[in-house]
Amino acid sequence: MEAPLRGMNPANYATAEEGKREKIQVVVKVRPIMLIERGQAARYTNKTVVLVEGNELFLKDPYEGMDSKIERRRGEHKYEFNFCFGERSNNLDVFNSVMIPLLDAVLEGYNACCFCYGMTGAGKTYTMMGHLLPSVPRDVKGIYTYTGEYIFSKINENKGNKRYRLKVSYLEIYNEKIRDLLEEDDEEMDEDEYEQKDQIQQDNKTPSNSNQIPNENKQIQSYSELIIAHNLDVREDIFGNISVPGLREMSVSTLRRLEFLIKRGNSRRTMAATERNAVSSRSHAVLQITVEGRERINSKLDNNGQKGEKKQVFSDQLKEELNENNNKQQEEDDDNEDQLKDGKKWKIFLNSKLSLIDLAGSERAQGSGNVGARMREGANINKSLLALGSCINALSAEAREEEQKMKKQQKNAGIQNQDDQNNEKDNEQEQPADNSHPSVPNKEKHIPYRDSKLTRLLKDSLGGNTRTVMIANVSPSAVAYEETLSTLTYAARAKAITRTIVKTGAGMSVGQQRYDK
């Protein structure tokens, strides 16, 4: 048997050939220029350097027309992405264009991921969170809220013989340490208590984020010790699935509950003020939503599932892991209030995951105004983002090489087909002249996922069995030209990354279909 595709369980083998090659979808969102940026850009010929025309984006030279020996001319850059959203666009525009197809894929059984990338203050957290941030008006929704609304509306439409279960986890990566943002503490509150507290803070205009790091070195050290004490690790199982052991998962059945958990997690997230951003995210935040669907069945089953179903052969190592996962799932099922007593059974038909990631912003030490702890944080943020950039570079280079190889094979195949037409009899017994015939595989290109916790978590999203959307957030100001150029360069490279995507299938989290009494 051939080795499984990365991130696949054994039950995927039968459908692996049905998988198709897909590229990462990349969209660019340009936030409005701020008043302070207009003043800072006074010395430039072009005060705004980003122009959006359809799905094309032009990055103009801020020094265009200037005759200066000191400032070098940048020249104009042109990019084409899946979608480009200008300064007048909003979060709903982004959601309708890219997130609805992604969520439909999740509800069809695909794993999916959306992450925001860009400089500090470019609008990443605003795009993801919207009014879940205390500084944002309540009528401004973000990707998180729109996602919750859409998923709950869809699963409510599909009720009947089907039942859905949603579970949520929320973590942050701060200074290469992973912390559970939903971990239990001594101040556990329900939604009503939290909303009352949040309303009081809104009225008093006080920040609700308890993890805004103070400037006193003593307090910074004590907070760092707290992070270290709760540091979690990233694991990868034999199927290539990424997990964080010990991470708390909580059930959600309403949008209100989902927003409550996100707000509570945000209140624990590491934030701080910088010159670029009054409320800057100093950590990467990963929200993961698991969607499990079950439907009632009433057919006689044998020990292997449905009649006529093909038996699957597993190695001893696979069996051991599958049995362990099945035992854990059975313990959950024993407490399931929805168990039927009429002889019917539940069949898992959907088990997929959605990851929504708000990355900390890249920043230059020279322009950020950061010193001391802020500078050290910035160095760690840039280190993890540099590792992400290295993975994107390696994966895009791999995709380009594969594309060139396929073109060469097609060209050789075309030449051979022409020869076959001219010499049909002579070539009847000959092997094909192209390179598609099985041979010794090339050495797999090294992708530096292990260079940071962030890239280890994103491994499946970048190079595995996950449908992925990258939102590149940029500022239109000439002041941010270098950062915008860097963001767009990585976004253009990410657009070239190609993966084989297959559905996770029914019960794929445990590697085989399961039927619960």
- Give the other-Cβ count within 10 Å of 478's Cβ: 25
Q: Is 72 helix (H, G, I), strand (E, B) or coil?
A: coil
118 labeled binding residue = yes
Sequence length of the chain is 517
Give the C-alpha separation, 244 to 233, whole Å.
Answer: 6
125 labeled binding residue = yes
Do 113 and 352 form a contact (C-beta atoms < 8 A)?
no
Do 154 and 164 form a contact (C-beta atoms < 8 A)?
no
75 labeled binding residue = no
Q: Is 482 helix (H, G, I), strand (E, B) or coil?
A: helix
507 labeled binding residue = no
Give the C-alpha separation, 170 to 193, whole Å.
Answer: 20
1 labeled binding residue = no
8 labeled binding residue = no
Beginning with the edge strand found earlier in the chain, give each strand of the sheet holding 50-53 in spatial order: 50-53, 56-59, 77-80
Give the C-alpha separation, 10 to 3, whole Å.
Answer: 10
Angstrom CA distances, 340 to 76, 129, 295, 296, 382, stand at 65, 39, 11, 9, 53
504 labeled binding residue = no
Give the C-alpha separation, 89 to 232, whole Å.
Answer: 38
Identity of the amino acid at 150:
Y
Token duo for residue 442: 């090339």
500 labeled binding residue = no
C-alpha torsion angle, residues 358, 360, 362, 365 (rounded to 10):
170
Measured in Å, how far apart are the chain's first and last C-alpha atoms? Answer: 33
Give the C-alpha separation, 306 to 299, whole Å.
Answer: 8
Residue whose tokens read 């973000």: 142
Q: Which residue ranges make up the annotated binding site for ATP?
A: 118-125
Q: Which residue ranges make up the annotated binding site?
A: 118-125
